[in-house]
Structure 1
Amino acid sequence: MLAADLGTPYGVQSVWRQLVDLIGRRRVPPATRAMATLRAIRADVPLPVRAASARAVEFADPPAPLVRLFAQDDISIAIPVLRSARLTAPEWIQLLPDLSPTARSVLRNRRDLGPDVRRALESFGPIDLVLPDGVTQASTEVVDRSVGSIAEPRSGAQNPEMDHSDRITAAASAARPVRPVAQPAEGEDSGPFEIAEVVARIDAFWRHREEAGPVAPPAPPRAEEFRFETDEKGVIRWVDGVSRSALIGLSLDLAREADGAQVDGIAAGAFRRRAGFSTARMLIDGGSDAAGDWLISAVPVFDPANGRFTGYRGTARRPRIDERAEPVRTPTGSPAESLRQLVHELRTPTNAIAGFAEMIETQMLGPVADVYRERANVIRTEARELLGAIDDLDLAARIDSDALALTPDRVALRPLLAAIADDLAPLLELRGSMIALPVEDHVVTGDRRAVERLLSRLMATLVSASVPGERIGVKMALESDRGVAVAVDRPKALADYPGDSVLGIDDEREDATLLGTGFALRLSRNLARELGGSLIIGPATLTLRLPAAVTSQVGQAI
């Protein structure tokens, strides 16, 4: 979409709709380039199209950058997003200064925002009451009634759900500009008056409030029990005895868990069996009277006509002091096992991406334009590099969890280094450097794939750190302790990191290794240890030691 044609009105609207849909439904992240494109073309997108896009993502939980984009638009476009967006308190507080008073008034009507956001909204009270320069006079009857009800409230005449800042905003919005009229004659008690009187009364109200201190809104009463019903999908559709907003839409199935609420596996397991359950744990976030811990019980309901499952009917109560209500969490495996699972989940779609890109590049399904073939080649290349990084993560996880299976074998190093140098030829050409291989050959013992992986990652990391014209020499020697030492020249770019400090290099320069130089060197060192050897980092060289292959007949290393 970012590469689509923006030269026609249809192309602009198409890109706007699809980018908003992809980002708003969190199918792609709100990247800097994507958001910059939306901001650049917003003025060229008709208002009805922008309004329709805002309504389309109203309940899709759009991310904060997209919420900001809509919130700063026309108020008719901002309202659908502002009244349903779910942001964190810091994200709301960062957004508030960039909103118009009208947009902030929409947020004041929400009751699901946290106390920090409410306090931040209250701090904009005087700013939101600044009237346009064109407003010089106002209707006496409307403004006097609105401001009077704020500054001098009568008992029983206030809306209990409207705080002071809301009523002041309502009063300011009630003032309507009118055409200037003549001042009333002395002694007359009706007719228009100067807006300065309204401003003076508002200033007096705020001075009184600052002296007396802000009036904290009363905390909602704590509900102790409620009843609920769900539909056939386990989603709560009816609630009695507590605020509905925190519970409507919550699913008893963990696979459909709603934000701001947690339900443990008792209810989820019972739902999948269409069975009753008792004292399942539930936790609800927020500041409503439903917030906190609950124990819920429910029975399944079936249609008497056909026996079809129609949902649950249940009750909820607060836990006693001797009970716990937080969801039970099953302990997960070690971090290394979790990383291996993540690697497995990443490898499958990456292989699919590389495969489809290759099909496009080779035109297996039909003719493809050259520009798309070039991009398919880039995708395939990037996917191949990503697969290499995924393999490195898998190898590191296997080493950390003692799950690396090695099969001893005899491996000749000179042919292996020559093949690695051929594979690194494009990178050597890009860096402008070269590899000088040794003439002699030695044989080590170890798993063939592990030795190949070790040497390839080590050489690729050093070549990536090389500079134009640099020569990376490789020397091999048989040591007296029946080990083979492979010494590789250290690139000049790593000279500023003495000793093992090079293992902690952050990937902050022109580093061609996807996971960083430090990670690759640590992986090489750990893999060398798994093979019974070591990796020593010296001032001018990196020395890799591996066990030499020994013949049983003569007891001599070869």
Structure 2
Amino acid sequence: MTVLDQPASDPHDRAVRWRQLVDLVARAGGQADNPLVEQALELIRADRPQVDDALRSAAARAVAALPLPYELVALFAIDKLAVSAPMLAAARLEPQEWQALLGVVDDETRQFIATLHPDIPAPAPVEPAATPEPFVEAGIDRGQAIPSISDVVARIERLRRGRVLPAPAYSPDNRQIPAPTGAPVLFRWECGPSGEIAWVESAPRGPLVGRSIARAEDGEGVDDEVVRAFAMRAPFRDAQLSLPGEGSLAGAWKISGVPAFEPADGRFAGYRGIALREANGGYDPALSGQHPLLSDPNSLRELVHEIKTPLNAIIGFAEIIDSQLLGPADRQYRTRAAEIVAQAKLLLSAIDDLDFAAKLQADRNRPGSGTDLAVLLEQIAVAMRQGASANAPHLELSIETRKRRCAIEPALAERLVTRFCDAIFAAAADGEQLVIHVDNRSGRCLLWVRPPPQLGAGDGDLGGSFGLRLVRGLARIAGGDLTITKARITLALPEL
């Protein structure tokens, strides 16, 4: 009995047969026109929707290093990029075959292939109906290649520039002083590996060039958050920058930046980022109820898509190194590659949350019934108890109010509260008792818990917890906030 004749009466048998067929076709080499191979390809194509993403991805990684027939590569190319990336990165096709693939794959995969093979001309696109396209500037051809990180930062800047109005500045003693007429409200900046700002756009260079983000100065410059981030080569967001004097840049700013590394050898090359004029002592998304990027959710979703494309490429390349698909790799490199995959997938999860929130933001004006947080928490607690080990932290609920319905639709509320519980649960010690309280105050539903000792957080600090930072970002998108003190971690959501 051949693999083609094997019964596939249940999902498990079908998945096993599918994996075996992929392996056999991959090893068929140039025999793709063989009737049996053609039959196998047809069965792979037909059964693919019923095979889990993880198994399809594993199959792609397992055969990526082989000299694959074009027909198999093409079949995987029309799958999700997370599945096909290892195979596409290792495939050795003729230029005309790559060009044929560009004509049938989705935009994300097309950009991935264009990054791998920039010399392959893209097929002439079919002219679609004219539609407005955000973020497009004259002279930029969106079909050429994947956007760089600097392009993404520039697009964020342009979006913010279109949303933010000039705001009053503050003197060092916190007296409000009027910003000079025509004063900039946003500028881009870059610094070298020593931390001194060397390049500025959209603002006078004099007060900024030479100023260091690597050290804090009394009464001016960046705050300690930036200094700590610089020492760890970590990104920072909405930190404080105070510029002295009475010029057009004087006053308080919110500064954000990401580290840059040399592509050739990975050496630290400095930081690049943006600074935003701080309005009325500080922008508070929890009070405004809407993050400025989400005032145009469709544009944000486009931006999210363009961030996911290079991130998926990073995951694909790192998996190739870790799996040694293109040849032996040193153990240390494989370990680092596995770490990159884990961290990139964590970031990808955060980006998916942002995309999810943008979808909901697009429908924000539709009336809804909100979510009963007590009922939702009961469901989450039951699920966490069922999946927990015997020595896992113990989760309990304390419902202290009848006003527990928040003005957030169930899909977003479930994701937000689940993330909140997961982050607290992950920081707790074995056997520790966690009590999540449900309360309300000043028109807000509150979920709060005493910080686990291992979190190590102080007043206003998220303790380096990526999970809690993710919860705070989602909460602010939803019109709420996450705050932390030594006494409690509080998730505040708008009350219905």
Q: TM-score scaled to structure 1, two decimals?
A: 0.31
Higher relative contact order (CA 8 A, sep 6+): 2
Q: TM-score scaled to structure 2, two decimals?
A: 0.34
Q: Which is higher, the Rg of structure 1 or of structure 2? A: 1
